[in-house]
Amino acid sequence: MDTLHRVCAGLDVHKDTVVACVRCLDDRSRAHQEVKTFGTTTPDLLELLDWLLQHQVPIVAMESTGVYWKPIFNLLEGPVEVLLVNPEHIKKVPGRKTDVKDCEWIAQLLQHGLLKASFVPPRPIRELRDLTRQRTQLVGEKASVSNRIQKVLEDANLKLGSVASDVLGVSGRDMLRSLLAGVDSAEALANLARGRLRDKLPQLRKALQGRVTEHHRFLLGMQLDHLTHLEALIGRLEQRIYQEMEKDRPPEPPEPKPPGGSADAASAAKPGMPAGGAGPSEPAAPDSGGLGLWQSLWLLVTIPGINRRTAEVVLAEIGTDMSRFATPQQLASWAGLCPGNNESAGKRRSGRTPHGDRWLRSILVQAAWAASHTKATYLSAQYRRLARRRGKKKALVAVAHTLLVMCYEVLSKGEAYQELGADYLDRLEPDRRTKQLVRQLEKLGHKVTLEPQTAA
């Protein structure tokens, strides 16, 4: 086999130890190996870096083992090139399984160019990814607490969820606080309703007649405190993410003063917001400079179904540099949003989507559901067309795949999304669409005669 690296190293990473193997070729192309074990504390990892630099190792490969690879990657990144490899790609031949054999096998595969590096974004994107993933987890915990509150209400025979669409809305929270304060009157609780919920006062009075005990009040108080704490943490994360996205935002040009020196009401826009009252979900158009987080955010929110929060997660997972992925199909495969490829002897076994980035996949499926409800868009037409034949779930995955391809094209070209229209496929093949419509009319018992329309 060809040799790509005359000097390289392989690391077998564990929680407390790192087994390193340096593999080099001499002038006669004979391989020599040196194996050494290090700890995973910062001084030990710095000693590992010095040992690698002493042997003039330019490139290192290691498996992505849980989260244990992160401190090693952060310390080695820069002085040496680090390849993070999927463990499935370097499974050793069964037998003689030891840590030393593992690091030697990794070094040998790396030397012959048989390893493919996993995608690891730069440090700012990795930090943004930590924030967005933590926010997603806290939002999931908030949903769990909401379900536990609903469970306590059902145990107390309070059917508030059967009348109010949001138990934890403004009206619902006022009712829960009154319950904690000792109010038992269904009439008094129902009068706390606001807005359109007041149209359901008779149903509320009936639904709020329960059997609330001190035990229920204790559980509700504890769950509401937990919910308030989670909402405060989510708010802090939102603020931190907003600050990270704002770092490379171009400064707003100074606005000309109106004649007479008086402040014009139209020019009293908030700092950091475009004229016309656009808020954080509608960032200003990017300038002609390099594509940063803020510019990428503006481009992504032009796609139907993608709002600011979805765009933040997408950028945190794939970054802003699309040159890391050769094609949009490769990006879709990495994210797990493409059909599986499992065929043998001319028979296709399974088309199940492969494993990928679950954070990116879940947020794009949610965005696909939002895009499917938009009006007169290509994505909504694609969803309806596929849902009839393949079902709603498969149609959502297909729309999520299309959304990811759109994100790739928008970020790679640096141009805003241009809507194709709901009739885009019909305009591609007008003859085929005409035949379909004629067949439908003939099935209904009509005789169809087509005449070309004369130009006006």
Give me the chain's average pLDDT, please.
Answer: 86
Per-residue pLDDT at 340 exceeds 80:
no
Per-residue pLDDT at 455 exceeds 80:
no
Contact between 317 and 359 under an 8 Å Cβ cutoff? The reply is yes
pLDDT in tens, 287-304: 434 478 999 999 999 999
* Cα(319)–Cα(308) distance, integer angstroms: 15
Question: Given pLDDT bands bounded at 50, 70 and 90, which one contains residue 93?
Answer: low
Q: What is the pLDDT of residue 148?
A: 95
Please determine, looking at this structure, whether the domain spanning 7-111 carries the CATH number 3.30.420.10: yes
Per-residue pLDDT at 282 exceeds 70:
no
Contacts of residue 448, defined as CB under 8 A and 6 or more positions apart, other chains included, come to: 438, 441, 442
Q: Which residue has the tokens 């018992």?
A: 445
Please determine, looking at this structure, whether the domain spanning 125-246 carries the CATH number 1.10.287: yes
Per-residue pLDDT at 456 exceeds 60:
no
User: pTM for the full model?
Assistant: 0.81
pLDDT in tens, 140-196: 999 999 999 999 999 999 999 999 989 999 999 999 999 999 888 989 999 999 989
Lowest mean pLDDT among 42-56, 212-226, 248-262: 248-262
Question: Given pLDDT bands bounded at 50, 70 and 90, which one contains residue 215?
Answer: very high
Per-residue pLDDT at 280 exceeds 50:
no
Q: What is the pLDDT of residue 254?
A: 63
Per-residue pLDDT at 229 exceeds 60:
yes
Per-residue pLDDT at 273 exceeds 80:
no
Q: Which carries the bigger pLDDT value, residue 223 or residue 288? A: 223
Question: Given pLDDT bands bounded at 50, 70 and 90, which one contains residue 96?
Answer: low
What number is the average pLDDT over the span 250-258? 64
Per-residue pLDDT at 72 exceeds 90:
yes
Per-residue pLDDT at 391 exceeds 50:
yes
**For the chain, which residues make up each domain, given as ranges?**
7-111, 125-246, 280-340+353-443
Question: Given pLDDT bands bounded at 50, 70 and 90, which one contains residue 104?
Answer: confident
